[in-house]
């Protein structure tokens, strides 16, 4: 009997189904559970009420990132809510025997940065966290997605979750990317094409030349943004790039175990002839540096283009006009040349060493514009150390920039790094909703290269002119 061709997603999903409920969800086993200070305290309270324990503490990993300050981390945290949440994470982790990387720990950093850099995330795994951008870990050929607080409690207590199996979509991008086009641009381009809700109900596999030729960090950026097109998550089949990245990482298998693991990982790819519910194709040649101009990640375009008219946008006309009014932009305007106040480099989308290398490649030998406040925030202490070791800190300092300490920072308004009302920020993070970076703030999402070009010129600039 010939075996039905399977997708990568099916292979990993079906291997983790503990029980299938007819016309209902699957009881689904979770290999790795990441927790942070914002979505875990209430889950632990639920355990306490039920007098339940954490079933497999060695499968859960805790790090503090959302509420953490990015300056003076050695001092007590001033905000009482943040301080309480950080304390709760530490105490709950200690009580249940969960490894905990709090402030000051050399392994501390943004959950979706520290997981991969320590080899906690491996191909073929299922990964969850009370954070929507858990989809980042899909870059390793894992099924990774965000969960709510009640589900965090469920995973802590049973290592399982109830999930309806999503539909499958494959997005192929073939050809060669042009100069100055980064993985962030690829992701923002796809979202602009299919809208911020275009992949709702699907799990996406990214395939084709562009992703095969992408670094691991680039793949993480793309998978991170899957959630911004409405998808449950995104994944890329593991290959030699994946194995080289993981080899030698602290928590990755060693010796014979490594050889065995790689042999299994090589089977994790979509079989020829496997069927997807939806398939989309794009050409690398059509992608230029991207920037958003509205209040969802789908409202973006190539940097050299003008802001579209309402008639050309898939969002409804009324919501589109409201979005432009919030941003202070008009239909048909050029985006290049628009004044910028803040630049933010960081987040679980673009807080890795390659992002800092890209930023430095533009600012080297130049000076920060006087009107720009720049927040450059590494995703972890490991990245911070790499920035120093590679001489990038010297380049940044010379150009008039300051490096901050690791954390989620200005990605979301949960810590001190908030963009003031009415100000414009070119941000390498993942969301540009109203007030996302601070009440009344205006966010233009872009790549580290576009952020660097804005930081040097003080206005939205095509980075290809500075490369």
Residue with tokens 């908030």, as numbered in its chain: 418
Average predicted confidence (pLDDT) for the chain: 97
Q: How far apart are the first and last CA of the chain?
A: 56
Tell me if domain 1-288 and domain 290-465 are identical in fold: yes
Q: Quick one: CA dihedral 158, 162, 168, 174, positive or negative?
A: negative
Instruction: Compute how many other C-beta atoms are within 10 angstroms of the C-beta atom of residue 73.
Output: 17
DSSP 341: -
- Under 8 Å between Cβ of 382 and 109: yes
CA atoms within 13 A of residue 157's CA, in its CB half-sphere: 18
pLDDT confidence of residue 414 = 86
Q: What percent of the chain has pLDDT above 70? A: 100
Give dist(CA 448, CA 68) in Å, integer: 22
Query: In the prediction, which pLDDT does 80 show?
Result: 93
Segment 335-345 shows an average pLDDT of: 98
Question: What is the mean pLDDT of the segment spanning 393-413?
Answer: 96
Query: What pLDDT sits at residue 316?
Result: 83
Position with higher pLDDT, 368 vs 416: 368
| pLDDT value, residue 397 | 98
Across the range 116-143, mean pLDDT stands at 98
Query: What is the Cα–Cα distance from 382 to 113, expressed in whole angstroms?
Result: 10
Residue 107 CB-density burial (10 A; 0-12 exposed, 13-18 middle, 19+ buried)? middle
Q: How does residue 1 score in pLDDT terms, banded at 50, 70 and 90?
A: low
* pLDDT band of 413, cuts 50, 70, 90: confident
pLDDT one-digit tens code per residue, 62-90: 999 999 999 999 999 999 999 999 999 99
Helices (H), 230-316: 240-246, 255-265
Mean pLDDT score, 276-301: 98
| Domain regions of the chain by residue span | 1-288, 290-465
Please tell me the predicted confidence (pLDDT) of residue 315: 77
Give the integer Cα–Cα distance in Å for 125 and 259: 17
* SS3 assignment, position 265: helix
Task: Give the DSSP H or E segment for 343.
Answer: strand 342-345
CA distances for 438 relative to 364, 384, 435, angstroms: 30, 25, 5
Residue in this structure with the two tokens 């994946």, named with its chain if needed: 242
**Phi first, then psi: what are they for 24, rounded to 5°?**
-140, -160
pLDDT at 314: 80
* Whether the model pTM is above 0.95: yes
Measure the CA–CA gap between 399 and 366, rounded to whole angstroms.
6
Is residue 364 very low, low, confident or very high in pLDDT (cuts 50, 70, 90)?
very high
Instruction: Report whether pLDDT(2) > 80.
Output: no
**Domain 1-288 listed as CATH 3.30.499.10:** yes
pLDDT value of residue 341? 98
The CATH homologous superfamily of the domain defined by 290-465? Aconitase, domain 3 (3.30.499.10)
Q: What is the pLDDT of residues 186-200, one digit of tens each?
A: 999 999 999 999 999
């Amino acid at each position: 009997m010939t075996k039905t061709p399977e997708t990568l997603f099916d292979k990993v999903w079906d291997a983790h189904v503990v029980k299938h409920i007819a016309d209902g969800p699957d009881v689904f086993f979770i290999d790795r559970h990441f927790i942070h200070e914002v979505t875990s305290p209430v889950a632990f309270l639920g355990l306490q009420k039920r007098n339940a324990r954490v079933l497999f503490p060695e499968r859960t990993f805790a790090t503090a990132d959302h509420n953490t300050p990015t300056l003076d981390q050695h001092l007590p945290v001033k905000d009482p809510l943040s301080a309480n949440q950080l304390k709760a994470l530490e105490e709950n982790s200690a009580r249940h025997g969960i490894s905990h990387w709090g402030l000051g720990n050399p392994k501390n950093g943004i959950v979706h940065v520290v997981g991969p850099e320590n080899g906690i995330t491996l191909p073929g795994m299922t990964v969850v966290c009370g954070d929507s951008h858990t989809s980042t870990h899909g870059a390793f050929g894992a099924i990774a997605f965000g969960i709510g607080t009640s589900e965090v409690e469920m995973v802590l207590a049973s290592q399982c979750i109830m999930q309806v199996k999503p539909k499958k979509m494959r997005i192929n991008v073939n050809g060669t990317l042009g100069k100055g086009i980064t993985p962030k641009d690829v992701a923002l381009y796809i979202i602009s094409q299919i809208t911020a809700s275009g992949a709702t109900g699907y799990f996406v596999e990214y395939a084709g030349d562009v992703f095969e030729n992408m670094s691991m960090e680039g793949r993480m950026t793309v998978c991170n943004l899957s959630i911004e097109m409405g998808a449950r998550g995104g994944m890329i089949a593991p290959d030699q790039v994946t194995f080289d990245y993981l080899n030698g990482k602290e928590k990755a298998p060693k010796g014979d175990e490594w050889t065995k693991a790689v042999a299994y990982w090589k089977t994790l790819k979509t079989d020829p002839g496997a069927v997807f519910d939806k398939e989309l194709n794009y050409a690398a040649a059509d992608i230029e540096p991207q920037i958003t101009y509205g209040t969802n990640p789908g409202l973006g375009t190539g940097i050299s283009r003008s802001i579209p008219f309402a008639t050309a946008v898939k969002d409804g006309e009324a919501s589109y006009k409201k979005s432009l009014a919030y941003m202070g932009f008009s239909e048909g305007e050029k985006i290049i040349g628009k004044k910028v106040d803040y630049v933010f480099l960081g987040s679980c989308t673009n807080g890795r060493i390659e992002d800092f290398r890209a930023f430095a490649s533009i600012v080297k030998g130049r000076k920060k514009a006087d009107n720009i406040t720049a927040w450059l925030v590494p995703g972890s202490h490991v990245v911070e150390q790499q920035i120093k070791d590679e001489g990038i800190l010297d380049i940044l300092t010379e150009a008039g920039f300051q490096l901050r300490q690791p954390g989620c920072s200005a990605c979301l308004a949960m810590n001190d790094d908030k963009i003031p009302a009415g100000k414009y920020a070119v941000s390498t993070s993942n969301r540009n909703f109203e007030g996302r970076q601070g009440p009344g703030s205006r966010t233009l999402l872009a790549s580290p290269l576009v952020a660097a070009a804005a930081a040097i010129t003080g206005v939205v600039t095509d980075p290809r002119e500075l490369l």
